[in-house]
Amino acid sequence: MLFHTFTFWTFFAVVASLYAMLRHRGQNALLLVAGYVFYGWWDWRFLILIALSTITDYFVGARIHSATDDPSRKRWLMVSLVFNIGLLGIFKYLGFAVAQVGSLAHLLGYTGPWWVPQVLLPVGISFYTFQSLAYTIDLYRRRIQPAQSLFDYATYVSFFPQLLAGPIERPAHLLGQVERLREPLNDQRFREGLYLVLTGLFRKVIIADNFALIADAVFMRPAAELSAWEVLVGVYAFAFQIYGDFSGYSTMAQGIARWLGFELMDNFRHPYFAQSPRDFWGRWHISLSTWLRDYLYIPLGGNRGSSWFTARNLMITMLIGGLWHGASWTFIAWGAVHGAWLVVHRWMSSSQVEAPETSPLPVRLLKIVGTFHVVCITWLLFRATTLEQAWIMVSKLTTDWRWTPFTAYALGMFATLAGPLLIYESWVERRGHLLALTHTHWIARAVVYLLIVIALLYLAPQRSSEFIYFQF
């Protein structure tokens, strides 16, 4: 079920109606059933996997909590790490790893057949695996208490608004909300949920799906046939596609959760207004970047050492962040470039960095434009199917600046769709509150909502696409 389909909203209407009539324990039971129906809608066989992951980490977590000595606690934590990373390894990386070994074998002279397993990737496995891992790791660190019951823990893992593409929630935040009584829906939460759902739909349907047509038209053509302008508009289109797609999902997940009495973390804070790579990762996919920081970068040593030691930790973190997105050299290269960018920026910055908001406006604008374009170059790696395609497309930017009708059409789409989005987000950015519109007069909100509805009715493309991050 996709958030922007009638099927999902019929499903949600049924769930929300029953939810309003039940008490706390009944609500949790309904959420658990709804989560499994929602996940099983894609492929019922994957229910076995999420149930196995839930049961394993719940009982391992109980062992970690009850163990009286550190060696025992560490052994049980290793059980969780091996199990969860093993699941990801089998379902997400096994085929890629075997294929790379086969390529190496052929380079060394092997000429026989090589079998590469074709493993079906369970939707959203990276998201709920990291969320479940956070539970056992936080128990090991004594930062949380164990779940009150397997029932509550299963509801935490399978909470359907954020199950398939995040945000990746922490147990201290989401599990606590599962276990506590929740207030009935009130005017404020309805108003905020409506804003989040409508703006999320706009980003997904109007921004992401329209720009997907442009990005696909570029990246599905032979790279050698493209002009430099076409490469540029293809990369820009993908930049807005992936932003609209992923931030749209996260925003709708927040809105749906809010209507059910839950608060999910902000996953995006206008990332294309970032002024540095560090600023970008404080605004983009925040739940993943903070997860990698807290459970990988800091345990590796963080910045508690020499500059070379810190650089190593940054590179390892970003390489694993790239690999988290998929088993492909393009994702590894994408992570490597971001890691190198963070390292270089850290070396070039003094220990006392001037706060971005105190810089003169022209300097801030220059930093924003520069950061955006470096991000776009990395998006080319992210979207390309092979490193060869990415290299050819980058090389095109040094020559062949032919102007084509397709380029003119694409730039018109940027002015029509991306321009108003950026203007609106700049207003929200200046207000300093992601829900700024909900604090304005109702007439202002009504005008914006009416424009969104008109856009959804008349500007939505005929072909819609699945959320990009479902594959991760």
Would you please indicate which residues are annotated as catalytic (active-site) residues? 325
User: Cα 230 to the chain's mean position, in Å?
Assistant: 27
Give the C-alpha separation, 278 to 282, whole Å. Answer: 6
| Nearest to 182, CA basis, from 252, 260, 256, 255 | 260
For residue 322 the two structure tokens come to 């790239």
Inter-helix orientation angle 387-396/361-383, to 10°: 140
CB 165 within 8 A of CB 469: yes
| Nearest to 25, CA basis, from 155, 190, 158, 217 | 155
Q: Is the link from the previous residue into 167 a cis peptide, with omega within 30 of 0?
A: yes
DSSP 8-state code for residue 158: T
For residue 157 the two structure tokens come to 């893992």
Length of the chain: 472
For residue 353 the two structure tokens come to 């960095």
Helical (H) or strand (E) element with 182: none
For residue 94 the two structure tokens come to 């096994």
Give the C-alpha separation, 126 to 158, whole Å. Answer: 13
Q: At 264, is the secondary structure helix, strand, or coil? A: coil
